[in-house]
């Protein structure tokens, strides 16, 4: 199979089926490859094209990617591979939705980012967000960050699938 086909999602699939394809393709792509930059880059592509194959609100996802713990400052996140528009380079632990996930190690599912204390607007179009920490040996090493231009873009089904993806990334990559 040509690599690009991994991120081609058939029309009319359910969200459950789309996430199943993301996880299956991610597992296949990570076989024999443990470089986290390579694997995060391909995963951002899988996620972006997955959301854009679904109906609204998922198709209104306007950013899908990663931040990782800054190797020069362990109390901040730094921008990793993503798809979407240019984004903030660094985010302090505890600041905004990404910072909260990094500090607590707990998924942040935010229906309306404007109601989230200290929300960082890298893109004024974003309305809702989900941030899932990637933990290795009990420590946050990176986060998955997905933004949506509609309110309530994400729910428990997204959380379950992205937490499974975060576990897979932690197991499959060397950081």
Residues of the shown chain interacting with a copy of itself in the complex, contacts defined by CB under 8 A: 2-8, 25, 29, 33, 35, 37-38, 41-42, 45-46, 49, 65, 68, 70-72, 78-90, 121-125
Min dist CB 82 to a copy of itself, Å, is 6
CA dihedral 124, 125, 130, 131 (to 10 degrees): -40
CB nearer to a copy of itself: give 79 or 161: 79
* Beta carbons of 46 and 28 less than 8 angstroms apart: no
CA dihedral 43, 44, 46, 48 (to 10 degrees): 160
CA angle in degrees (0–180, nearest 5) for 40-43-49: 145
Structure token pair of residue 42? 């391909």
CB nearer to a copy of itself: give 70 or 155: 70
CB nearer to a copy of itself: give 45 or 134: 45
Min dist CB 172 to a copy of itself, Å, is 12
Min dist CB 86 to a copy of itself, Å, is 4
């Amino acid at each position: 199979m040509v690599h690009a086909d991994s991120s081609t999602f058939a029309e009319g699939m359910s969200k459950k089926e789309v996430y199943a394809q993301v996880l299956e393709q991610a597992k296949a792509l990570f076989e024999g490859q443990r470089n986290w930059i390579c694997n995060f880059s391909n995963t951002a592509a899988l996620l972006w094209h997955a959301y854009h194959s679904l109906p609204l609100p998922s198709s209104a996802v306007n950013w899908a990617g990663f931040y990782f713990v800054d190797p020069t400052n362990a109390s901040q996140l730094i921008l990793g591979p993503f798809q979407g528009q240019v984004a903030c380079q660094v985010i302090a632990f505890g600041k905004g939705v990404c910072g909260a996930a990094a500090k607590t190690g707990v998924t942040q599912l935010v229906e309306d980012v404007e109601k989230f204390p200290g929300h960082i607007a890298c893109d004024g179009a974003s309305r809702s967000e989900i941030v899932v920490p990637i933990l290795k040996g009990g420590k946050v090493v990176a986060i998955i960050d997905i933004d949506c231009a509609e309110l309530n873009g994400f729910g428990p089904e997204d959380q379950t699938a992205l937490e499974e993806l975060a576990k897979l990334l932690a197991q499959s990559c060397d950081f």
